[in-house]
Amino acid sequence: MTVDSSLRVIAHAKAKTDQVARVREILTALVDATRQEPGCLSYELLQNHADPTDFVFVERWASATAERAHFVTPHLLTALQQLSGLLSSEPEICRYGVVQ
């Protein structure tokens, strides 16, 4: 029996109502670069149909170390700087392990 030791991450970001297009542009720019990172197994950006201000990243990383390395990449640091003042609240990041 193989144990799945990968890390799942759900990251929520909520744009200010008048900044949805700009936030979407910044978050979309992260996808291809992040998918090329070592240890990134999948990285998807979703936008809520009922609430377009609500964005969610669904991520799968080979390890917690790989996910931590993501936070010091130039593309993420640039995006975080660009997002300053455009979000209605701090992003919420939840990390999960596979139970079964």
**What CATH number is given to the structural domain containing 87?**
3.30.70.100
Can you give the residue range of the structural domain that contains 75? Answer: 7-97
pLDDT at 1 over 80: no
Give the DSSP H or E segment for 4: none
Question: Does 2 reside within a domain?
Answer: no
Question: 60 to each of 37, 94, 95, how far by Cα in Å?
Answer: 12, 12, 10
For 3-20, the pLDDT digits (tens) are: 688 999 999 999 999 999
Please give the model's pTM, rounded to 2 decimal places: 0.92
Number of domains composing the chain: 1
